[in-house]
Structures are given as C-alpha cells and as structure tokens.
Amino acid sequence: MTSETPPLFLTDAELEFMTGYKQPAAQIRWLQRWRIRHVVNAFDYPRVTRAAVEGTEKTGPQRPRATPNFGALNKLTEERTKSSMHWYYRKRRQEMGIPEPPTPKPKLPVRRK
C-alpha cells in the first residue's frame, strides 16, 4: 500500500481557487493582504507552501515578550530637561554669581461685565 504525499506547494488551480484571482499579480496582492507567506518564482508566479496555508508552518523559537523599562524613560526625560538651553543658561548664571531673574507673577484673567 503506497500513500501519496501531497506536493509541497499549492498547485496553480488551488492558488486560483483560494485567492479568487487568475492573474499572478492579483494573487500576490491577495496573499500580501492576508499575510500569507509566499515566494515569487522567476516567472513572477506566487508559490505558497501547504504548511503556510494549513497553519503547520514551523517558525523560529518564540522569545519572551519584553516589558518596557519605565525607569529608563523617566531618566531620559530628566536628561532632556537638563540638556535644554534653559538649564544651560541657568547653570551658567549660577556659576558666574548672577542672581536669578524674578519669576513673573501669573496674570489673572480679566473678567469683563
């Protein structure tokens, strides 16, 4: 008893049936839209493995998902604040002994009747 194994790639008829398109360029667009892994051969025809369609395609080892380091983000924000020109001039005034200019008082909105 011999068991036939299906071909590695989908046939042209199967690809046409799956995508609903006959033109290779339209088939490629459909495969890209649905994010199905495929290759394009030298004749500009898409080739799709059966494993890609059946979902049995082996992918590389899954890495654990990284968690964001919010502490580093806060540190970056502090460094940006320190690197601003305002910070530079403020520091230079302190080094030269020039007093800080008075901070302006916030103006209250004028209410008109």
User: What are 70-80's pLDDT values in tens digits?
Assistant: 777 676 666 66
CA–CA dist 70, 39 (Å, integer) = 40
Going from the C-alpha of 24 to that of each of 8, 42, 50, 100, the distances in angstroms are: 19, 12, 18, 72
Give residue 43's pLDDT: 94
Average pLDDT over residues 58-80: 70
CA–CA dist 106, 104 (Å, integer) = 6
Q: Per-residue pLDDT tens for 4-16?
A: 888 899 999 999 9
The proportion of the chain whose per-residue pLDDT surpasses 90, expressed as a percent, equals 38
The reported pTM is 0.49
Q: Please state, rounded to an integer, the average pLDDT across all residues of the chain.
A: 82
Which long-range CB contacts under 8 A does 2-7 form with residues at least 24 apart? Answer: 6/50, 7/50
CA–CA dist 19, 10 (Å, integer) = 12
CA–CA dist 93, 100 (Å, integer) = 7
Q: Per-residue pLDDT tens for 23-36?
A: 999 999 999 999 99
21: pLDDT strictly greater than 80: yes
